[in-house]
């Protein structure tokens, strides 16, 4: 089910790619942040643009209008601990852009390490939109309902633990997004992720769906963290808990939760 050639790119790898001019790099921040300074050669495609574009054909047209084609090697970055970059990269993967990866550093990390910053507009000529949709990375609400009712695998709620205790999709397991995050880089070490998930009874043979509270950003970070750790049967419930609740689907809660429930791994 895995549709990506690689999950993440380090800063050192990025420099080699930039020198060879063999990638297209996407800045997922707001345009005003991009204009103040960005990684050289980066083009601006904000998280807001991608999330607001629901239709898959229109989404493909959005990326194509910014000069991104399906055969490009693409690296996405943000300045929000990787959640926005992961969501944009997931959109690209869903459209069949199998060479889309997440930079394993935020823009602030990049800048603070003394790498070159540009204020040039790196806009590219439009490309033809040719999506090849990969349904095996997406979980719709109907898919999630069937998945849970038939106990097909593991549904991971990656919101903060307190949110999970208060209300969650029935059958979901709480694995907060910070499990997949690292303060010194974007992603947690794969060995640590595997250790935590093994402790929850989750194996690499299992199918996994991730969801969060709203736009699928935190769950996209978890999606990529899982792939990086070798879990290949992963889907994203992109519309997440906000859709589930708004459509009146049943929810569970943890009754009589105590302090220790908030800090559980």
Average pLDDT for 217-245 = 97
At 143, list the tokens: 């898919």
Residue 72, in any domain of the structure: yes
Q: By CB neighbour count within 10 A (0-12 exposed, 13-18 middle, 19+ buried), where does 150 fall?
A: exposed
Of the three residues 134, 161, 183, the one that is the final residue of a domain is 134
CB 90 within 8 A of CB 224: yes
Same domain as 217, residue 128: no
Residue 3, in any domain of the structure: no
Of the three residues 134, 169, 198, the one that is the final residue of a domain is 134
> What is the structure's pLDDT at 54?
72
Counting residues of the chain whose pLDDT is more than 70, the rounded percentage is: 94
55-66: pLDDT as tens digits: 899 999 999 999
At 245, list the tokens: 């609740």
> What is the structure's pLDDT at 179?
96
Residue 119: give the domain boundaries: 8-134
Same domain as 121, residue 24: yes
> What is the structure's pLDDT at 264?
46
CATH of the domain at 113: 3.40.250.10
User: Which tops the pLDDT comparison, 4 or 147?
Assistant: 147
Q: Which residues contact 32 (CB under 8 A, 6 or more apart)?
A: none
> What is the structure's pLDDT at 258?
58
User: Which tops the pLDDT comparison, 32 or 20?
Assistant: 32
Same domain as 98, residue 21: yes
Residue 2, in any domain of the structure: no
For the chain, give the mean pLDDT.
92
Same domain as 129, residue 12: yes
Residue 1, in any domain of the structure: no
**What is the CB neighbour count within 10 angstroms for residue 10?**
12
> What is the structure's pLDDT at 5?
60
Q: Which residues contact 3 (CB under 8 A, 6 or more apart)?
A: 93, 96, 98, 134, 136, 137
Same domain as 122, residue 33: yes
| Kind and range of the H or E run holding 157 | strand 153-157
Same domain as 122, residue 142: no
Domain count for the chain, please give it.
Answer: 2
Residue 81, in any domain of the structure: yes
Distance of CA 70 to the CA centre of its chain: 18
Same domain as 196, residue 104: no
Instruction: Tell me how many helices (H) and strands (E) the chain has.
Output: 12, 9
4: confidence class by pLDDT, cuts 50, 70, 90: low
Give this prediction's pTM: 0.93
83-130: pLDDT as tens digits: 999 999 999 999 999 889 999 999 999 999 999 999 999 989 999 998
Same domain as 171, residue 157: yes
Average pLDDT for 25-32 = 97
Same domain as 208, residue 102: no
Q: Which residues contact 90 (CB under 8 A, 6 or more apart)?
A: 137, 216, 220, 223, 224, 236, 238
259: confidence class by pLDDT, cuts 50, 70, 90: very low
Q: Say yes or no to pLDDT of 263 above 60.
A: no
Average pLDDT for 200-229 = 96
What share of residues in the chain are helix, strand, coil (percent, to 5)? 40, 15, 45
151-210: pLDDT as tens digits: 999 999 999 999 999 999 999 999 999 999 998 899 999 999 999 999 999 999 999 999
> What is the structure's pLDDT at 45?
97
> What is the structure's pLDDT at 265?
47
Average pLDDT for 19-48 = 95
Same domain as 162, residue 120: no
> What is the structure's pLDDT at 257?
65
Same domain as 165, residue 251: yes
Same domain as 19, residue 109: yes
Of the three residues 69, 99, 134, the one that is the final residue of a domain is 134
């Amino acid at each position: 089910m895995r549709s990506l050639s690689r999950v993440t790119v380090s800063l050192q790898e990025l420099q080699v790619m930039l020198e060879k001019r063999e990638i297209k790099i996407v800045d997922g921040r707001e345009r005003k942040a991009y204009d103040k300074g960005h990684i050289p050669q980066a083009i601006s495609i904000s998280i807001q643009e991608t999330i607001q574009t629901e239709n898959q054909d229109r989404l493909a047209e959005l990326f194509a209008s910014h000069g991104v084609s399906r055969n490009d090697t693409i690296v996405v970055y943000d300045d929000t601990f990787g959640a926005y970059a992961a969501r944009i990269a997931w959109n690209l993967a869903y459209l069949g852009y199998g060479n889309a990866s997440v930079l394993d550093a935020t823009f602030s990390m990049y800048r603070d390490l003394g790498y070159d910053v540009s204020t040039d507009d790196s806009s590219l000529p439009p490309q033809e939109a040719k999506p090849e949709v990969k349904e095996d990375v997406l979980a719709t609400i109907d898919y999630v309902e069937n998945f849970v009712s038939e106990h097909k695998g593991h549904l991971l709620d990656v919101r903060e633990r307190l949110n999970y205790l208060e209300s969650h999709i029935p059958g979901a397991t709480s694995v907060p997004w910070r499990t997949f995050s690292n303060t010194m880089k974007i992603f947690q070490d794969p060995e640590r992720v595997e250790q935590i998930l093994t402790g929850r009874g989750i194996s690499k043979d299992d199918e996994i769906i991730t969801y969060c509270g709203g736009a699928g950003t935190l769950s996209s970070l978890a999606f990529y963290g899982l792939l990086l750790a070798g879990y290949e049967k992963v889907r994203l419930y992109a519309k997440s808990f906000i859709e589930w609740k708004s459509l009146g689907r049943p929810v569970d809660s943890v009754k009589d939760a105590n302090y220790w429930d908030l800090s559980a791994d």
